[in-house]
């Protein structure tokens, strides 16, 4: 089983989110909460994956 997101990763993610995105994340976590901690971790992992992809794309050189 993969490790849950580290605190540093979550702090970095939180700092990058706008107030609206933070509210949306909270809503997603509240919806996942009744299904347990694993469902909440899945929400966080998916958001971290999206954020990592966006950072990667920003780091690519512009097309020629």
Structure pTM? 0.76
Find tokens 């020629």 and name the residue.
64
Q: What count of other Cβ atoms lies within 10 Å of the Cβ of residue 35?
A: 11
pLDDT digits (tens, 9 = 90+) for 25-64: 999 999 999 999 999 999 999 998 898 888 888 888 888 7
Residues 7-21: what's their mean pLDDT? 89
CA distance 44 to 64: 35
Place 1 in a pLDDT band, splitting at 50, 70 and 90. low
For the chain, give every domain's residue range.
19-56
């Amino acid at each position: 089983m993969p490790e849950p997101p580290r605190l540093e990763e979550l702090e970095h993610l939180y700092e990058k989110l706008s107030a609206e995105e933070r509210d949306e994340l909270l809503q997603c976590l509240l919806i996942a909460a009744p299904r347990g901690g694993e469902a909440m971790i899945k929400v966080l992992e998916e958001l971290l994956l999206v954020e990592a992809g966006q950072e990667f794309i920003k780091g690519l050189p512009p097309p020629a």
